[in-house]
Amino acid sequence: MPSLDEKRFRKAFEFAEEAHRGQIRKDGETPYIAHPVAAVEILVSLKADEDTLISALLHDVPEDTDKTLKEIGEMFGDKVEFLVDGITKLSKVQYQKNMPDRQVESLKKLLLHSAKDIRVIIIKLADRLHNMTTLGNIDNAEKRLRIATETLEIYVPIANLLGIRELKSRLEDMCFKFMFPSEYNNLKKKIDSGREKRKKYVARFIEVIEKEAEKNKIKIGVYEREKNLYSIYKSLCALGKTVDSVDDRVGIVVIVESIKDCYQILGLIHLKFAPLTKKFKDYIANPKGNGYQSLHTNVFGVDGVSTEVQIRTKEMDIEADFGMAINFLGGYSADKAPSGHTNDSKWLKNVVKISEDKEVSENFIEDLKLDVLQDRIVVLTPRGRPVDLPKGACVIDFAYAIHTNLGNHAQKAELNGKLVPITSTLETRDVVKIITSKEVSPDLSWLHFVKTNLAKTKILSYLKKISKVAKISKGKELLQTELDILHMGLVTNLGLKKLNKGLVVSTGKLFVSLNEIFEAIGEGKIGTFQVIEALGNDAVNGESGGKWISIKVVAKNRFRLMQDVYEVLYKYANDMNTFKGWVSKNADMAYFISDVLVKNSKHISKIFHELNRVEGVISVTKTSRRGLWLSVALGSFLALVWIIHPVLIRMSTQSPFGGQFPNLVQNTIYFGLFLMFGALIFYVKLIGKFFPLARKKRSLWFVVFLLPIIATSMLAVEILYFDLMLSWWVIFIEMIFMYLYIGINYADFSRFREDRD
Ligand code: MN
C-alpha cells in the first residue's frame, strides 16, 4: 500500500495498544490489541483505505477504555472520529435499565452512520468476523447462540447487500458452525472427503478448456470455486434433502479479458460440453440487485460430470468478492471499478427511513429483516415503473405492492407478454401486467406463495371478513386436498376426539366441532398440516432416507412439458427412479409416472403443489399399489360370487337338498344381500381413499346409482324363476338403505363441487 502514511498508522496502533493494555481477550491469555489488529488484517484483504484501517485499530477504544472519542478526533481527524463513532455502542450508563433498547438504538446508530459512510458497516463486519472466529472462547452457550443468530440475521444479509461475498461466506460458515454443529461437521467431512476427487476432475476440465481457448486465441485464467458450506446446506434444506444426498457438483470460474470474450468462451464450452439450458443465467446483461455480473452455466463436463461454470472479466471477479466495498475503499482506482454499483442504493435509503422512526420498538429489527435485509429483485410495471420485492416473490406480491384492489382481484398475469398463473415466481427485470376479475377474491392457498408481509396481511384481513359458511367450506376443501394427496379419506370421516388430542398441543385450543376446525383453517388460523400432524398419521417417517411413493401426473401436452415435470421431481424429491412418460394417441394429453423418495407428508405435499404449478398440469395423484390390489381383489371376488350365485341357488333348490332347508336358502340370500350392502360401503370408502380423483367423476356415481337397481331386478327375476320364498319387504327396505347411503355420500360430494365452482 504505497500511499499509506506509515507514521500515522503506527501512531494509531500505539495509541490503541496503550489504551487496551492490561485487557485480555476471552480466551484468558491473548492481549486485547490482537482483536483490532485481526480486524485490520481482514480489511487489508479487502483493500481498505487508510482511514478505514486506522478506525478499525481504534474501534473498541471509546467503548472499552478511558480514552474518549474526542481525543481520537483530535489526533486522527473528523473522518476517523465519525467512523469510530458509528461502531461505538451507546453508553451503558444511559441504558442500564433496558439493555435490549441499547442494542436496538446502537444498531440504528450504526446503520444511520453507514448510510452516510459505508465504511462504518464494513469495519463492523470485519470486527464481527473476528469475534465470530473466537466465539468458541465464550463459555455461555446461550450467549454464543445469540451472537451467531444476530450475525446470521443482520450482518450476513448486509454483507450480501453490499455484495462482499468474501465476508458473507466466511461469516455464514462461522454462524453455521455454532448454530448447527453436527450438520456443519457432517457436511464438512463430506465435502473434505470429496476434495481430492474434485481436484483431479477440475484439472482435467481446465486442461480441455485451456486447449480450446488457446486454439481460438482467447486468454483465460481458470480456478475452482468451492461453495461455502452454509450455502450448500441452505440449498439442501430448501429442497428438503439431507446432508447425505449432497451431490459432488463441481464449480469452476473462468476469467477472461473482455465481455466479448465472456460470450465467446461460453460458446466454446457449450460446443464442447452439453449445457443444461434451464440453468443458464446471463448476469452480465442483467446484473443482480447488488451489482454482481457474470455468466452462469451448467454443463455435463468431462465424463458427463455435472459442472457449474461461471465466466466473467477480471474486474467482475474482483467485484464478485468485494462488491460495493471497492467503490468506497481506496484499494482500487476509480477507473477500474465496474459500473454495476451505485452509491445511492435503495436499501440504504430504506434503512435510513426505518432507523429514523422515533419509536424504540422491537419492530425495528423485524422491519429491518423483512423489508431491507432480504435479497431483492426489481420488477417492472407495463409502464416501466420499477417495483422492489424480496427474492422469491410472486405475481400476488407484485399486485399487492401496487394496490390492494389489484391484489384482491388478481386473476392471472402477463409475464413478459406470456400468460401465467398469479402464483408464478418473479425475477429481476420481468415486466408484469395484472389481469383482474371481479369474480376473483383472495384465497387462503395464496399464503403458500406470497413472500411479502404486505401481501400476507392483506390476504388475512380479507379472509377475516368473509362469512363463516364460506370459511368452513374453504377450510374443508383445503384439508380435503391434503387428505387426498396422502390417501387419508374424507374430511367428514375425521374423528374430533383424536384431532383435539393433537391440536391442543399445537394450538392450545379445544375445538367443539369439526366445522370449527374447518373454519379455523379457512381463516388461516391453523394450517392443514397441523391437522394432519394431529392425526398422527404421518405415514412416512423419514429420518433414515424416507419412503418411496409412486406419483402420476396428467397434463395437457405441450412443448417441453416433460422437461418441466422432470425438473420439479429432480429438484424436490430426495431421489427418483423409473420416470416414465407417454402421450395419448393424438398427442393431446401427456402422462408421467415416477417413483420418488420422500421425507414425510409435508414433503409429499410440497412436491404435489409444485407439480400442480407446472403449466398444463391437470391432475397429480399418488398411485397406490395397495389400494389398487385391494380394489381389484374385492371387485373380482364380488364379480365371481355374482356369476356363480344362480348356480348355487339352483343347486340348493334341487334335490337332493331341494325343499329340505327352505329357511337356509332364504337366510343365505338375505345374508348375501347384506354382504353386498357392506361391500358397497367398503368399496366407496376404498375408492374415496385411494383414488380421490375417481370420487369426482360423475360417471362413477352413475354406475353406483345403477348397480343396486340392476342387482335388485336380477334378484326379482331369480325369485320368480326359482320360485323362491323371499319377502319383498326385506328387499325393499334393503334398497332404501342402500340408496340412503349413496345419497348421503353424493350430497357430500356435490356440496364440495359447488364450493369449488
Ligand atoms: Mn471489536
For cell 370459511, name the residue: 471
Task: Tell how far the Cα of 657 is from the centroid of ligand 1, in angstroms.
Answer: 103
DSSP symbol at 387: E
**How would you class 1 by CB atoms within 10 Å of its CB: exposed for 0-12, middle for 13-18, buried for 19 or more?**
middle
Give me the numbers of helices (H) and strands (E) for the chain, helices first please: 32, 15
Residues 637, 675: Cα–Cα separation, whole Å: 12
Of 17, 63, 388, 516, catalytic? 63
Q: Are strands 295-300 and 274-275 parallel, antiparallel or unpaired?
A: antiparallel
443 is catalytic: no
Instruction: Please give the pLDDT value at position 340.
Output: 39
282 is catalytic: no
Task: Tell how far the Cα of 464 is from the centroid of ligand 1, in angstroms.
Answer: 49
Residue 270 banded pLDDT, cuts 50, 70, 90: very high
Query: What CATH code would you report for 374-462?
Result: 3.10.20.30
**How would you class 510 by CB atoms within 10 Å of its CB: exposed for 0-12, middle for 13-18, buried for 19 or more?**
exposed
Task: Tell how far the Cα of 413 is from the centroid of ligand 1, in angstroms.
Answer: 50
For cell 399445537, name the residue: 506
Between 360 and 598, name the one with better pLDDT: 598
Instruction: Please give the pLDDT value at position 325.
Output: 66
Question: Is the pLDDT reported for residue 335 higher than 50?
Answer: no
Q: Hey, what's the cell of 745?
A: 355420500
- Residue 735 identity (one-letter amino acid): M
Q: Hey, what's the cell of 71?
A: 481525543
Residues 425, 613: Cα–Cα separation, whole Å: 10
DSSP symbol at 369: I
Task: Tell how far the Cα of 591 is from the centroid of ligand 1, in angstroms.
Answer: 61
Strand order in the sheet with 575-583: 575-583, 589-598, 547-556, 617-623
DSSP assignment string, 681-743: HHHHHHHHHH-HHHHT-HHHHHHHHHHHHHHHHHHHHHHHHHT----HHHHHHHHHHHHHHHH
Strand partners, 547: 598
Q: What is the pLDDT of residues 631-688, one digit of tens each?
A: 888 888 878 877 887 777 777 666 565 556 666 667 777 777 777 777 777 777 777 7
* 547-623 has the same fold as 374-462: no
Instruction: Please give the pLDDT value at position 31.
Output: 93
Domain 6-179 classification at class level: mainly alpha
Q: What is the pLDDT of residues 177-226, one digit of tens each?
A: 988 888 899 999 988 888 888 889 999 999 999 999 999 999 999 988 88
Q: Which helix (H) or strand (E) holds 581?
A: strand 575-583
Residues 416, 428: Cα–Cα separation, whole Å: 12
Determine what percent of the chain is predicted with pLDDT higher than 90.
Answer: 23
Note whether 537 and 551 are within 8 A (CB).
no
**Which CATH code, of 2.40.50.140, 3.40.1830.10, 3.90.105.10, 3.30.70.260, is assigned to 547-623?**
3.30.70.260
Dihedral Cα 341, 346, 351, 352, nearest 10 deg: 100
Task: Tell how far the Cα of 57 is from the centroid of ligand 1, in angstroms.
Answer: 9
Long-range contacts of 330-337 (CB under 8 A, 24+ apart): 330/3, 330/47, 330/48, 330/49, 330/50, 331/1, 331/46, 331/47, 331/48, 331/49, 332/47
* 592 Cβ contact partners less than 8 Å away, ≥ 6 residues apart: 552, 553, 555, 562, 565, 579, 580, 581
Between 579 and 524, name the one with better pLDDT: 579
Query: What CATH code would you report for 192-336?
Result: 3.30.460.10
Task: Tell how far the Cα of 688 is from the centroid of ligand 1, in angstroms.
Answer: 64
CA neighbours within 13 Å on the CB side: how many for 321?
13
Of 18, 27, 41, 64, catalytic? 64
Q: Hey, what's the cell of 305?
A: 460430470
Residues 741, 702: Cα–Cα separation, whole Å: 14
Q: What is the mean pLDDT of the chain?
A: 82
Q: What is the pLDDT of residues 295-331, one digit of tens each?
A: 999 998 888 888 999 999 988 888 787 776 666 555 4
Task: Tell how far the Cα of 590 is from the centroid of ligand 1, in angstroms.
Answer: 62
Distance set, CA 69 to CA 51, 74, 106, 536, 544 (Å):
15, 9, 16, 61, 57
Question: Is the pLDDT reported for residue 349 higher than 70?
Answer: no
* Mean pLDDT (whole number) for 257-273: 93
Residues 70, 314: Cα–Cα separation, whole Å: 42
Least Cα distance to 440 among 416, 423, 418 occurs for: 423
Task: Tell how far the Cα of 74 is from the centroid of ligand 1, in angstroms.
Answer: 22
For cell 363463516, name the residue: 468
Residues 698, 464: Cα–Cα separation, whole Å: 34
Least Cα distance to 114 among 122, 103, 126 occurs for: 122
Q: Are strands 250-256 and 306-313 parallel, antiparallel or unpaired?
A: parallel
Return the domain boundaries, the chain: 6-179, 192-336, 374-462, 466-540, 547-623, 626-756
Question: Is the pLDDT reported for residue 515 higher than 60?
Answer: yes
Residue 613 banded pLDDT, cuts 50, 70, 90: confident
Residues 564, 397: Cα–Cα separation, whole Å: 24
Q: Hey, what's the cell of 238?
A: 430448501
Task: Tell how far the Cα of 326 is from the centroid of ligand 1, in angstroms.
Answer: 23
Task: Tell how far the Cα of 35 is from the centroid of ligand 1, in angstroms.
Answer: 7
* Mean pLDDT (whole number) for 118-146: 90
Task: Tell how far the Cα of 13 is from the centroid of ligand 1, in angstroms.
Answer: 15
Task: Tell how far the Cα of 58 is from the centroid of ligand 1, in angstroms.
Answer: 9
Residues 108, 110: Cα–Cα separation, whole Å: 5
Peptide bond into 656 cis (omega under 30): yes
Residue length of the chain: 757
Question: Is the pLDDT reported for residue 255 higher than 70?
Answer: yes
Task: Tell how far the Cα of 60 is from the centroid of ligand 1, in angstroms.
Answer: 5
